[in-house]
Amino acid sequence: MKKRDVAEQMFSDILDAIHEKQDDLEKAIADYTSSVPAKPTMDIMETDEDIVVKTDLPGAKKEDIKIDITEDSLEITANFEEEEEDFNFIKRERRCGEVKRAVILPTKIIMEKASAKFIDGVLTVTLPKLEKNESFEIKVD
């Protein structure tokens, strides 16, 4: 066997070992992260009157969403149903179980006037501000 053929075979063996370990690492990470509640993606926006929070919850059902608020915080929890156990998953990336996200709001809100809508997998929570941002111009003399 030529030196080049030996080197190519050794390089091929190394790559095979790396790919095998990479698959093991991906499986270990997937097993670990599947037990940690996911954090859904969220946008927090502000108008003069409201704080508006949009959270992606694709596949969730309205009745499986829980929203807890205080005058300066918001927590959203959603539960996703398990897939049927008759499947042998080759790759599993979609979450099931519970997802949770809590945030501190940039200003205090009026809890009694808060509202929420769930349309096409997007939860929109509107939180009226306790103090509205008002501004006025001062003339310089």
pLDDT in tens, 47-59: 999 999 999 998 8
pTM over 0.75: no
pLDDT of residue 83: 63
Same domain for 32 and 84? no
Same domain for 58 and 27? no
Same domain for 29 and 56? no
6: in domain: yes
Contacts of 30 (CB under 8 A, 6+ apart): 92
Same domain for 61 and 97? yes
Same domain for 26 and 61? no
17-47 pLDDT per residue, tens: 888 888 788 877 766 666 555 788 999 999 9
55: in domain: yes
Same domain for 11 and 57? no
- What is the domain range of residue 79? 42-128
Dihedral of the CA atoms 13, 15, 18, 22 (nearest 10)? -130
